[in-house]
Structure 1
Amino acid sequence: MIKTEQDIIQLVQKDVWMMDILHTAKTLHLPDWWVCAGFVRSKIWDVLHGYTERTPLPDVDVVYYDPSCCDTKVEKELEQRLFSLHPCIPWSVKNEARMHLINNLPPFTSSVDAISNFTETVTALGLTLDEDDGLVLTAPHGIEDAIRMVVRPTPYYLQSEERAQIYEGRVSKKNWSQTWPKVTITHIL
């Protein structure tokens, strides 16, 4: 049963594949780095659904925060470095110092600030390793929606109809309830 952030950390610590992904991401020595979004959410939902096989991920999101270099070519080079270490992983690397431009948000102050502005609360989750390889979870909106399997928008996407449409389009495209039938989608339009 998953009830606390510590429960999630223990689940991940026991998952050799996930820990390998985190150790691989750490080799890049990126500032303020996290492996986030579906990487964390899917593990929680797979466990809560009793799945014994991991649900395949369309990508493994690695984010970091470096306002001194916002060149997308650097992100692609970092993806290639990760791909050379693990060619079967669909790596996606993004510098959150520039990602605010995608949805016309104010500039982010950190990776956790960026994660807090992901579209859904259940996706606003991230994992990193500290200097001693201790596992750290960030959940800016808490873990309650993830463990209750309720998809709802983060506050930014409730501020206008245009933003609500971004949320609605994304949850429609993702179609999570087909993979995880116990998931409840909160619609706002």
Structure 2
Amino acid sequence: MSPEEGEWERAERIIEWIRTDAWRLDVLRQARALRLPDWWLAAGFVRNLVWDRLHGYSPSTPLNDIDLVYFDTSHASECIDRAHEDELRRVAPLPWSVKNQARMHGRHGHRPYASIEEALSVWVECETAVAVTLGDDDRIRLKALFGTASLLSGQVTHNPRHGDSEVFRHRVIAKGWQRRWPRLEIRGF
């Protein structure tokens, strides 16, 4: 990462990596077909691609799940999310994980989230709170709540807004990120 490179340039680099990844572009199109409100593919969908690129890995590391997040206060039921997963799996048998962020505050004991941004802002790692969406014009947009600098520097940082550093420690160990991407720098232990 160049020191003079700004946030816009870093975001555009990630968008270009996604644009040239035929599999990820296809997955974005499948997610878009659901027409969910304020939907995004998040977490490992973007993060792992960046880490793979930083490590020179090709092909990309397989994903444990594909996190499709959206925000809809009028239909905040886990049953609806399961129905969306089933619909997606009929089209593509992939490890879809669909979660309406309008209901996820209960899992963490937070007050209800007002937006997708507020929900993402409390995810455990700063580098996981990154997401992309695909417009009807096929334009990819990136949302990185904490910017892209630490992600593109290969850092894994505890998000202080999440609060529980033990959850961070457990995730880092359980996910084995440093075994797969040994040059990652874990921050916040």
For the aligned pair, the TM-score class normalised by the smaller chain equals: over 0.9
Q: Does 1:138 align with 2:143?
A: yes
SS in structure 2 at match of 1:61: strand
Aligned residue identity for 2:181: W
Aligned residue identity for 1:126: A
Matched-pair contact (CA < 8 Å) for 2:129–2:146: yes
Q: 2:72 aligns with which of 41, 66, 69?
A: 66
Aligned residue identity for 2:31: A
Q: Does 1:83 align with 2:89?
A: yes
Following superposition, the deviation at residue 155 of structure 1 comes to: 2.4
**1:21-40, aligned counterparts within 5 Å?**
21-40=27-46
Aligned residue identity for 2:83: E
Runs of 5+ consecutive residues of structure 2 not aligned to the other structure: none
Q: Does 1:95 align with 2:95?
A: no
Following superposition, the deviation at residue 105 of structure 1 comes to: 2.0
Aligned residue identity for 1:182: R
* TM-score relative to the length of structure 1: 0.92
CA distance in 1, matches of 2:33, 2:129: 23
Following superposition, the deviation at residue 187 of structure 1 comes to: 3.1
Q: Does 1:13 align with 2:14?
A: no
Matched-pair contact (CA < 8 Å) for 2:123–2:162: no
Runs of 5+ consecutive residues of structure 1 not aligned to the other structure: none
CA distance in 2, matches of 1:106, 1:175: 31
CA RMSD of aligned residues (A): 1.4
Following superposition, the deviation at residue 69 of structure 1 comes to: 1.3
Following superposition, the deviation at residue 31 of structure 1 comes to: 0.3
CA distance in 1, matches of 2:112, 2:173: 27
Q: 2:158 aligns with which of 139, 153, 162?
A: 153
Following superposition, the deviation at residue 53 of structure 1 comes to: 1.5
Q: How many residues align?
A: 183
* TM-score relative to the length of structure 2: 0.92
CA distance in 2, matches of 1:187, 1:122: 13
CA distance in 2, matches of 1:85, 1:123: 26
Matched-pair contact (CA < 8 Å) for 1:30–1:64: yes
Q: Does 1:45 align with 2:46?
A: no
CA distance in 2, matches of 1:148, 1:104: 32
List structure 1 segments (4+ residues) > 4 angstroms apart after TM superposition.
Answer: none
